[in-house]
Amino acid sequence: NLIHEVIVHSRNNADYLNYNLKREPNGLGTVFMDYQNKRNMSDQNIILYGHYVYYDDELKFTPLYKMMSQEIFDENKYITLDLIDETRYYEIVSIHYYKLGSEGVEYDYTSYTKSYFNNYMDHVQKNNRIKTEETISYEDKMLTLQTCVRDREDLRLIVIAKQIESIPEETAE
């Protein structure tokens, strides 16, 4: 697994952007869930943000850029999300770049109308940088991971995964 982080949730998306778990100033911040997500994580799309750390490619969400390699993706396409009272499993279906301010394409919604969802997924699939047979349907629950892109303030790296019942045994550790 490439990433092992504690996730926090707050009343806005700025509280943990530059603060650690103890609420002390820290440029690395803390991985956090979008403030619009419900604390019980029942939304259609759970959105998590984490920093890209220029000087250490193992910290926070920095390892996500490695997923652009098909080989690394194939070895790490499943996500386990350990919560206090349950464990959730996800399979990554898309890794793409989002250009900030793109007309008609928002990436930060926690739930969708069916029409919006279909338009959004068309955009996601057109920009997908990995090969996978998996897709997301309107009925699926999703997990979205977002981080910055090195030397590109106008881009975000977006990883979208759909919730699954379990990780296939041949790939589970």
Q: What is the pLDDT of residues 108-139, one digit of tens each?
A: 567 778 888 888 888 888 889 898 888 899 99
> What value does the mean pLDDT take over residues 39-59?
81
CB 94 within 8 A of CB 104: no
Q: Supply 13's token pair.
A: 């998306």
Cα→Cα distances 75→38, 56, 92, 105, 154, Å: 31, 21, 11, 30, 29
Q: Report which secondary-structure segment, H or E, holds 47.
A: strand 45-49
Instruction: Tell me the whole-structure pTM to 2 decimals.
Output: 0.88
Provide the pLDDT for residue 143: 94
The pLDDT-based confidence of 40 (bands split at 50, 70, 90) is: confident
3-state class (DSSP) for residue 141: coil
3-state SS class at 78: strand
Separation of alpha carbons 147 and 138, rounded Å = 24
Q: What is the mean pLDDT of the chain?
A: 84
Rg (CA), the chain: 15
Q: Can you tell me the distance from the alpha carbon of 21 to that of 58, in angstroms, rounded to the nearest whole number?
A: 18
45 φ, ψ to 5°? -130, 115
